[in-house]
Structure 1
Amino acid sequence: MGILRVLSKRGDDNLIWDEKKLQENDSEALAAVHEAERIFQKERARGSMAFRVQTGQPPQRIDQFDTTAEQIVMVPRVYGG
């Protein structure tokens, strides 16, 4: 299972896809991945940073959507003053 987590002032929004079903060209899994990619690109365009999170490994910053990631966490740009 893959998860896209988008952090926001509401907490975090999640979108989940099943990688095994994706490899089988399951229509629901394909739709979930297309939506996750759309959200990923939208958030990156807004300045959010993306991190690939894998069990037992430190988070890794990524610039491209990765369907094989356990989790992708999108962190919005922080504005200070």
Structure 2
Amino acid sequence: MGMLRIMSRRGDDRIMWDSNKLETSNPEAVAAVQEAERIFKEERMRGATAFRVEPGKPVERIEKFDRTAEQIVMVPRVVGG
């Protein structure tokens, strides 16, 4: 399973897709990844930072959406005030 988590004031929103079904071009999995890619790009344009989170590995900052990642966490730009 892949997951995009978007942190916000409400907590976090999640979009999940089945990587195995994605390989077989399952329409639901393809639609979920397309939505995740759209949100990823939109959040990056707003200044959010993205991290790939994998068990047993260090967290890695990423610049491009990776549909093979187990989990991507989007953290919005922090504005002081």
TM bucket (normalised to shorter chain) is over 0.9
TM-score by length of 2: 0.98
How far does residue 65 in structure 1 lie from its aligned partner after superposition? 0.3
Letter in 2 for 1:31: A
Q: Given the alignment of the two structures, is residue 76 of structure 1 paired with residue 72 of structure 2, yes or no? A: no
**Which residue in 1 is equivalent to 2:23?**
23
Separation in 2 of the partners of 1:12 and 1:51?
14
TM score, norm. by length of structure 1? 0.98
Task: Specify the SS of the correspondent of 1:16.
Answer: strand
Deviation of 1:22 (Å): 0.2
Match of 2:40 in 1: 40
Rounded Cα–Cα distance in structure 2 between residues aligned with 1:12 and 1:59? 18
| Superimposed CA distance per residue, residues 52-80 of structure 1 (whole angstroms, 9 cap, x where no aligned partner) | 00010111000000011010000000011
CA distance in 2, matches of 1:67, 1:20: 11
Deviations 1:14-63 (A, max 9, x none): 00000000000000000000000000000000000000000101110000
Question: What's the % identity of the aligned pairs?
Answer: 63
Runs of 4+ in structure 1 over 6 Å off: none
Secondary structure of 1:64's counterpart equals coil
